[in-house]
Structure 1
Amino acid sequence: MKEIKKYLQIHPADNVLVALQDLPSGEEIKFQGDTFLLPGPVAAKHKFATAHLAPESAIYMYGVLVGKTNQVLEKGAALTTENIYHAANNFELGKRKLDWHKPDVSAFENKIFMGYHRSNGSVGTANYWLVIPLVFCENRNVLVMKEAFEQKLGFKKARSYEPEVEQLIALYKTGASVEKIISTDLRTSTLYGEENRLFSNVDGIKFLNHEMGCGGTRMDSDALCGLLAGYITHPNVAGATILSLGCQHAQASILKDEIAKRDPNFDKPLYIFEQQKIGSENVLLQEALKHTFAGLIQANQQERQPATLDKLCVGLECGGSDGFSGISANPALGYVSDMLVGMGGSVILSEFPELCGVEQELSDRCVDEETALRFMALMKTYNAKAEQDGSGFYANPSPGNIRDGLITDAIKSAGAAKKGGTSPVKAVVDYPGLANRPGLNLLCTPGNDVESTTAEVAAGANIVLFTTGLGTPTGNPITPVIKLSTNTKTFEKMPDIIDINCGTIIEGAETISQNAERILDYIIEVASGNIVPKAVTLGQDDFIPWRRGVSL
C-alpha cells in the first residue's frame, strides 16, 4: 500500500513545508537530510518553517516571496498571522519567457462537443434568452416577467422548501412547542424539474437584476452597458429583452454602441422597451411579454451541432480557497488550461488582487512588452486605488482563507495563479472587455467570486471552472459553472454543490495530469448538455456587476 505523504515542499526554493494532514506536537520531520521535531501542532493545510528564522526573514512558497517574519520563528513552528506578515517582491519589465511545455493532447485532438453555432463564428454551450434592466428602477418589472413566464414555460429550476414550511405550519397549529419545532426532522424539499418545458431547445429565460445604471459615476454606468453587451453578444445567448426607464445614465444608445464594439454584425433578436416613452406599465409589460415569447420561438429553432474544442473559452475561478488550493485543484486547472491552449482554445485568468506577488512571472510570460506593461499598469493602479480607499491587496484573504492556511495575500496569490498554467499570456484586458483570444487571457477583475465570474462570462467564457476548498455555491445565469473541491472532505460534505473532487491529488490516488484529463472530459459533457453541473441544477444565478466608482 502506498504511503500517504504527511507534508510537502512545493518548490525547491521554499523554506516552509505544507502539512497534508494534522501533525501533532513532537511529530518527527525528515527534510533534506535533517531531522527535527515539531515544537507544536500544525493543522492540515497550514505551513511550518524548515529552519530557525530571525525577525524580518523572508518566507518563500511556490518559489516566490510570500511574507516576512515579525518575530523569531523556531524550526518547525507553524506560520500564523501573528508571526508573519504579507510581503511580495517588486516587479519590473523583464525579458520575455515564452517557452512552455505543451501537454500531450493526442487523446483529445479529435474530440468534439455539441454546441449552438452563432453567426459570428462563436459556439455556445447553452441557449438562453435574457431579460435585463438597464437601471435598477426596472428590477421590479423584470421580476414580474419572471413570475409570469418561468413556471408556465417549464423553466423554473430551483429547490422549493414549501413542503417544509407546510410541515412547520401544521406543527404550529397542533400547538407544538418551539423546542419541538426545532427538533423535528423535516421532509426532503422539492427540486423543480423541466418536465413541462415548452421550448425544448431553449435552456431557459434568465432574468438579471442589479443595483446600477444611475446615481453613480458615468464610468460605472458605461461599464455596466459594456458588461450587459458582453452577455447579450455571448454565444450562450440567443437574444434579449431590455427594459429601460429612459432618464438614467445607462442609455440604450450606449448599450447598442457597446454591442457593436463586440459584434459589428450583431443579428440576434434584441427588443428594447423604454417605460417613460411607452407610459403605462401595463402596456410596457404586455409588449415585453409578447416580444420575448416571439424571441423564444426563434431561439427554439436552433439546435446543437458538432464543434471542435478550440471553440471553448474557459473562465478560471477560485473561491472559498484553502491551503490545498494551490497544490491540487488549481494546478489541475492549470494543466487543463495548457491542454486547451495547446488545442487552440481560450482561457481567462482574472481576480487581479490574487495575482499579487506573481506579477513578475506573469508579466515575463506576456507575448510582448506592450502587453506586459499593460498588465503591470493595471496591477499598480488597482492596488493604489485600494490603498487610497483604506485597504490594499494585502487585505484580500478572508477569515475562512486564513483559518485554512492562506494567511497572506501572496500565499493565496501564488496558489491562485496556478490556474493559469504555463503558456504565454496572449492578451491583457481591462473590465468589462472581451478576453476570448485563443490562448491565455488576463482579465482585470476583483477577487470577489461573483463579481469576477460575472465579468469572465461577459468577457466570453462559455464554461467556468471554479475551485473551492471550503465550499462555495456560486453559479452564473448563462454559463455552466463547474465546481471542483481541493480536498475530499469538502467534496463529501457538500455533494449538492460540488461536481469534481481534486482531493485525490492530495491523497496520491491521481496525478495532476490524470485529474486534469478527467476534468476536460467532464467539460466536454457539460458543454454538450449531457451533464448538468450542480450550480445549474440549483438555479444558482449569481450576477453582480463591478462598481468601481462612488455613488453620486
Structure 2
Amino acid sequence: MTSYDLKSPYSRFQTISPNEFFIRDCRSARFTFKIQHPIIMSKKYIQLHPEDNVLAALADLPEGTLVHHEDYDFKLVGTTRAKHKFAVNDLAVGDEILMYGALVGKAVKPIVQGETITTENVVHASSEYATGKQKSSWNAPDVSKWESTTFNGYQRADGKVGTANHWLVIPLVFCENRNVDVIKSALLKSLGYHTEHDFVVDTETLVRQYEKGASQEELLSSEIIRTSEDIKRNRTFPNVDGIKFLNHDGGCGGIRQDSETLCNLLAGYITHPNTAGATILSLGCQNAQYKILEEAIKKRDPNFSKPLHVLEQQQSKSERHFIADAVKRTFLGLIEANKTQRKPAPLSHLVLGLECGGSDGFSGISANPALGYASDLLVALGATTVLSEFPELNGVEQELINRCDTEENAEKFANLMRAYSERAVAVGSGFENNPSPGNIKDGLITDAMKSAGAAKKGGTSLVTDVLDYTEPVSKKGLNLLCTPGNDVESTTGLAGSGCSIICFTTGLGTPTGNPVAQVIKISSNNSLSERMKDLIDFNSGTIITGEDTIESKGEELLEYIVKVASGEVTPAAVRLGQEDFIPWKRGISL
C-alpha cells in the first residue's frame, strides 16, 4: 500500500492494490474526511466524495458487474456506460443525488441500488446559498521550484506583459465588416500571415514555373506547401505574431446598452497586453460612437499610448480611398509594433483564463481539477487566474461565496448569480437547461452535476475579486468573471477582461480559439487526445487511467503554459487560425 498525504486538498488516485484505488476529498483546502473506512474503488468506477451516493463509471460496465462499496457488495441492474453514474443504494422519489459532496439532482422515479441515473429518473436540483463569514487564508501548494521561473513576454508601457504581439483591425459597427474583409485579404498573405490552416499552398510558384515553360512533370514535382514555420520566417514583420480582425454583428440597432457594452469589450481588447495597437473603422452614424470607445480606453488606461488609427467612412472621399488609407495606416502601425521584442518577466505577470467546453463525465475528474491545481500554483506565485461561465457555477455558489476574501466580493457574486438566474427563468430557460445534448450523452445529466465538475477549474484558492462582464482584471489571485456558458461568448469575455492565455478543458472536443489570447486545449480522456490530436494540446486522460495524479498533471500543465507564454510552443487553435469572437449582448445565453 502506498502512503498518502492527508493535507493535500486535491483529489487524486493512489494505487492500493493492482485493482483498487483510494481517492481523497477534493471539496476544499482542508481534508475533511476522517480516515476510518478508506474508500476502496475498482479501476472501473470511483466515488468522488465520501458523502456521494453515486459512483462514476471509468469504463463501460455491463449488467451484472459486481461492485464492492465500503463493506458491502452489489450488482449493476443494467449496463452503465463510461462517464455515467449509478446508485450505491435504493433511492425513493424526492431523494437527493449527491456528487462531489454537493446536491446535483433529485430522483423523480424510484431508483434501485446499482441502477444508472439518467434524465428519465433524475432532475436538476441545487443547494440554496447565502453570504456569511468568509475565509481569510488557504493551504497554498509548494511553489518553491518555480519562484525564479520567468517567461519571455512583450512588456507594455502600462506595466502589463503580453504573451503575444498582435495588431487589431476593429469595426465599430457591422456595416464595416465587408471593408474589414477587404483589408484582411490585402494584408495577410502579402505580409506572410496564414488565416485558416497551419500551412498554405503556394500556387504562385506554379504560375511562375508555367510562365517559364515548365513541363507537366516539373509542375507536378514542384514543392508548393509552405508550413507555418516557413511562413513565419518570411514575414515582413517577424516580431508581430498576427493581424487580428474582430468582425461582429453589433454597434447599431438593439438598445444603447448593447453598444456601450461592445465599446467596453473592444476597449479591453485594445488595452490587452497581447495588443500592440489597432486600426478602428467607423461608419460614422452608428450607436457605438468612437467617443464611447475612447472613454472606455481611458478608464482602463489613463495614460494609453499604443498606436491607434481611427477612420470614419462617411468622411472619406470614397470607399477605395477609405480602404487604402486603412491599409497604409495599419502598415505604419505594424512598423511600430515590430520594434517590440520578447523579454524575461516573472510568472506573476501571467493572467490565465479558466474555461471549459464540450465537457464530458471525466472533465470534473481529470482535466478540470488538473487545471485547478495549475491555477493554484500560479496564484501562489502572485499571478492572476479568472474563472468564468456563471451558469456553470450553479450548485457550487456556497463554496465560492465562502472562498471570497471579502464580504463585498461574496455579495457581488451572489447578486450576479441571482440576477442571471432570474433573467433566465423569466424567459423560460433556467440553469437546468444548460447541459447540451453532448454533455448529457457523456454523463453530465444535470446542470448542478456539470457545474460541480466545472468549478474544479478554479482550484482551492481564495477569490480576490468578482467581475461583471467587460470589467477589467485589476487584482492578483483568483477572479470570478460573469459570462455565459457559451464557449465563444465566454472566451471572448475572458480575453476582453485581460486574460493573455486561456486554458480550455474539453471531453468531447471543440475547435474554439480567440483572436488575441492563445487558447490551450486540454483533453479529459485519452481517446479524445488521440482522435482529435490536431486540436488537442495537452492530455489529462492519464489521470483516469491511473498513470498520473492531479498534482503531477497540474505541474506539467504549468510548464506547458510557460512555454506557450514565451512563444516556444504554438497551441493548435493559433496554428489553425481559430479566432472566434462573439460579444455577449447580455441577453440570456446559457
Normalised by the length of structure 1, the TM-score is 0.93
- Tell me, in whole angstroms, the C-alpha distance in 1 between the residues paired with 2:374 and 2:451: 19
Distance of 1:151 and 1:101 partners within structure 2? 51
CA 1:418 to 1:436, structure 2 compared with 1: closer, same or farther past 3 Å?
farther
| Pairs within 5 Å for 1:11-160 | 11-159=49-197
Residues 109-258 of structure 1 aligned to structure 2 (within 5 Å):
109-159=147-197, 193-258=231-296
Q: Which amino acid aligns with 2:256?
A: R
Within the candidate set 458, 469, 475, 1:420 is matched to: 458
Following TM superposition, where does structure 1 have runs of at least 4 consecutive aligned residues deviating by more than 2 angstroms? 1-4, 157-163, 188-195
2:322: which partner in 1? 284
Alpha-carbon distance in structure 1 between the residues aligned to 2:82 and 2:227: 36
Would the aligned equivalents of 1:124 and 1:235 in 2 still touch at CA under 8 Å?
A: yes
Counterpart amino acid of residue 513 in structure 1:
E
Judge conservation of contact 1:70–1:83 (CA < 8 Å) in 2.
Answer: yes
1:318 touches 1:449 (CA, 8 Å); kept in 2?
yes
Superposed displacement of residue 314, structure 1 = 0.2
Partner of 1:531: 569
Deviates more, 1:481-490 or 1:1-10: 1-10
Instruction: Write the deviation string for residues 326-373 of structure 1: whole angstroms up to 9, x where unpaired.
Output: 010000011011100001000000000000000111111111111111
Partner SS for 1:482: strand
1:271 aligned onto 2:329: no
Fraction of identical pairs, as percent = 58
In 2: Cα distance, 1:66 partner to 1:281 partner:
57
Distance 2:302 2:259 in 1: 22
Shift of residue 287, structure 1, vs aligned partner: 1.3
Q: In the superposition, relative to structure 1, how do residues 162 and 369 fare at CA in structure 2: closer, same or farther (>3 Å)?
A: closer
The aligned counterpart of 1:361 is 399
Query: 3-state DSSP class of the match of 2:385?
Result: strand
* Residue 3 of structure 1: how far off its partner (Å): 3.5
Aligned partner of 2:583 in structure 1 is 545
User: 3-state SS of the aligned residue for 1:205?
Assistant: strand
Pick aligned residue for 2:499 from 461, 464, 469: 461
**Alpha-carbon distance, 1:436 to partner:** 4.5
3-state SS, counterpart of residue 522 of structure 2: strand
Does structure 2 retain, via aligned residues, the 8 Å contact 1:275–1:284?
Answer: yes
Deviation for aligned residue 1:159: 2.3
Query: 2:282 touches 2:312 (CA, 8 Å); kept in 1?
Result: yes
- Cα distance in structure 2, aligned partners of 1:88 and 1:363: 15
Q: Is the 8 A contact 1:346 1:436 kept in 2?
A: no
Q: Is the 8 A contact 1:212 1:221 kept in 2?
A: yes
* Deviation per residue, 1:472-513 (Å, 9 max, x gap): 111111111000000000000000000010001001100101
Give the AA of the match of 2:321. V
Q: Give the drift of 1:99.
A: 3.1
Partner of 2:37: none
What are the Cα deviations for residues 119-178 of structure 1, in whole angstroms up to 9, with x where unaligned?
110000000000000000000000000000000000124229998x9xxxxxxxxxxxxx
**Separation of aligned partners in 1, 2:89 and 2:303:** 62
Letter paired with 1:534: A
Whether the 8 Å CA contact 1:480–1:533 is kept in 2: the answer is yes
Match of 1:372? Answer: 410
2:510 to 472, 483, 486: 472
Unaligned runs of 5+ in 1: 166-187
CA contact (8 A) 2:198 2:576 kept: no
Amino acid at match of 1:491: S
Tell whether 2:579 aligns with 1:512: no
Q: Secondary structure at the match of 2:189?
A: coil
CA contact (8 A) 1:133 1:209 kept: yes
Structure 2: gaps (5+ residues): 1-16, 21-42, 204-223
Q: CA RMSD in A?
A: 1.6
Deviation track 1:55-83 (CA, whole Å, cap 9, x = no partner) reads 00000011110000001000011010000
- 2:293 is the alignment partner of 1:259: no
User: Contact 1:213–1:221 (CA<8 Å) still a contact in 2?
Assistant: yes
Q: Does 1:319 align with 2:352?
A: no
Query: Cα distance, 1:195 vs. partner?
Result: 3.7
Distance 1:216 1:431 in 2: 18
Partner Cα distance (1:493, 1:499) in 2? 12
Partner SS, residue 60 of structure 1: strand
Which residue of 353, 358, 367 maps to 1:329? 367
Distance 2:136 2:352 in 1: 21
Q: Is the 8 A contact 2:232 2:238 kept in 1?
A: no
Q: Distance in 2 between matches of 1:371 and 1:337?
A: 19
Q: Is the 8 A contact 1:491 1:501 kept in 2?
A: yes
Give the letter aligned to residue 304 of structure 1. R
Task: For 1:517 and 1:366, locate their aligned partners in 2 and report how far apart those are by CA, in whole Å.
Answer: 25
3-state SS of the aligned residue for 1:65?
strand
Q: What code does the residue aligned with 1:236 have?
A: N
Distance 1:314 1:88, change over 3 A: same
How big is the shift at 1:190?
Answer: 7.4
The answer for the alignment partner of 1:405 in structure 2 is: 443
Q: What is the SS of the residue equivalent to 1:152?
A: helix
Letter in 2 for 1:293: F
- Cross-structure match for 2:473: 435
Contact 1:436 1:459 in 2 (8 A): no
> For this pair of structures, how many residues does the alignment match?
527
Amino acid at match of 2:181: L
Q: Counterpart in 2 of 1:392?
A: 430
Give the drift of 1:307. 0.4
TM-score (norm: length of structure 2)? 0.87
Please give the secondary structure, in 2, of the residue aligned with 1:306: strand
Describe the SS at the equivalent of 2:152. Answer: strand
- Name the SS for the 2:376 alignment partner: helix
Cα deviation digits, residues 12-60 of structure 1 (max 9, x gap): 1111100011111000000010100000010000001110000000000
Indicate which of 331, 336, 344 corresponds to 1:298. 336
CA–CA distance in structure 1, aligned partners of residues 314 and 426 of structure 2? 39
Secondary structure at the residue paired with 2:153?
strand
Separation (CA, whole Å) in 2 of partners of 1:436 and 1:32? 47
1:10 aligns with 2:41: no
C-alpha distance in structure 2 between counterparts of 1:407 and 1:191, whole Å:
42
Q: What CA distance in whole angstroms lies between the structure 1 residues aligned with 2:316 and 2:587?
A: 32
Report if the CA contact (8 A) 1:348-1:436 is conserved: no
Query: Residues of 1 paired with 2:287 and 2:136: CA distance?
Result: 43
Q: Does 1:308 align with 2:308?
A: no
Partners of 2:394 and 2:519 lie apart in 1 by 25
